[in-house]
Amino acid sequence: MPLVKTHAVGNGDMTYIKHGSDSFTIIDCVISDDSKDAMLAEIRRESSDRGIVRFLSTHPDDDHFRGIHHLDDAMPIQNFYVVKNSATKENMSDSFRRYCRLRDGDKAFYISKGCTRKWLNDSDDARGSAGIHILWPDTSNETFKKALADANNGVAFNNISPVIRYSINGGASFIWLGDLETKFMEDIVNHVSLPQTTIVFAAHHGRDSGKIPHSWLDKLRPRIIIIGEAPSRHLNYYTGYNTLTQNTTGDITMDCDGSKVHFYVSNDTYEMRPWLLNEYKDGYGHYIGTQQV
């Protein structure tokens, strides 16, 4: 069964998907020196029986690729998916140097709205699709071009983030928005397809600056919004929606079982959510309930 796990990594994002097909996908990473051994051991273990391992990078901010050199050294990245850019920075960390090497090297595949790629979203006789589709960016869009120029000039990086959607046949769907900012999302709403999606990861770690506008939420109609880690004073809690906030849940593991998603968290004092079904599950840590898709 497919498994989606988002790690509580402090100020940053890191998720992996263990697909029902022969694929394993990592979306962004934060691997610190003190967590490196445990994190790399987990990724090795969970991906060991998959023929394709890919890394999707949302954008070149430190809290989305920190420690990528540790990952690449331990498990050389053979499939690096990234929005094409020439982002520059005055201060070159080891992580940013490795990001640039991967971005500009022969392992890179440049993603954009509607792109197709074997085994990402295209099947053949050897291997099934991973079910991942890129809904944005439209590289011909003027609003995006301005954001790309800002990134290439080292001014700002958030708004070159792609919109990534993962869907399971007959089951749940997920969307990642990177660090897209509210005004940018409002500006492009008529240029991006936003199908109804079960679980949405709030943009910019759930900060007010990346609040998903109502014009997007009305189309996405999420069952659950996952809010990342940031100081509480900076978070938007999406009143009126069911939410899980990683400041309190810790890691969140989503076991996708047919038309259901079973939720587990690493904080074993976190209470069952009243809006989730209780199916008395175990297996991935502290069970907090089940969402019917």
Can you list the residues of the chain whose pLDDT is less than 50?
A: none
List all residues 6 or more positions away from 191 whose beta carbon is below 8 Å from its beta carbon: 136, 138, 141, 143
**Predicted TM-score of the model (pTM):** 0.97
What pLDDT score does 76 carry?
Answer: 97
What pLDDT score does 34 carry?
Answer: 85
Q: Which of 220, 217, 222, 146 is nearest to 184 (CA)?
A: 146
Name all domains of the chain by residue range, CATH numbers in brackets.
3-292 (3.60.15.10)
What pLDDT score does 33 carry?
Answer: 87
E strands, the chain, are 3-6, 15-18, 23-27, 29-30, 52-57, 66, 80-82, 108-110, 132-136, 163-167, 173-176, 199-201, 224-227, 243-245, 252-257, 260-265, 286-292
Q: What is the DSSP string of 71-123?
A: HHHHS--S-EEE-------SS--HHHHHHHHHHTSTTEEE--TT---BTTTB-
What pLDDT score does 175 carry?
Answer: 98
Nearest 10 degrees: CA dihedral of 3, 160, 202, 33? 60
